[in-house]
């Protein structure tokens, strides 16, 4: 997600429809930027559409690991 897309996303009341791969990538970028809550929201959107999305499950594990919630990280991964 580039800067223009993020601005448009924030200015709209609805988030643009992203592909699952783009949504997962956005989650990874949020986590790398230290915004674990935003990354978690990306994962929750993905998991709502597909509860077995491997990328979202893995990212949720990384988020839990980043937040030092080791038991939750093991469960997600």
Residue ranges covered by each domain of the chain: 3-10+19-76
Q: What is the pLDDT of residues 22-72, one digit of tens each?
A: 888 999 999 999 999 999 999 999 999 889 999 999 999 999 999 999 999
| Domain 3-10+19-76 in CATH 1.25.40.10 | yes
- Give the predicted TM-score (pTM) of the model: 0.72
Evaluate if residue 13 carries a pLDDT over 60: no
d(CA 29, CA 69): 20
């Amino acid at each position: 997600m580039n800067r223009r897309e993020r601005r448009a996303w924030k200015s709209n009341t609805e988030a643009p429809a992203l592909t699952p791969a783009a949504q997962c990538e956005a989650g990874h970028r949020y986590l790398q930027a230290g915004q674990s809550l935003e990354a978690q929201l990306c994962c929750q959107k993905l998991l709502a559409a597909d509860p077995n999305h491997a990328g979202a499950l893995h990212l949720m594990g990384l988020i839990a690991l980043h937040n030092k919630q080791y038991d939750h990280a093991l469960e997600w991964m």
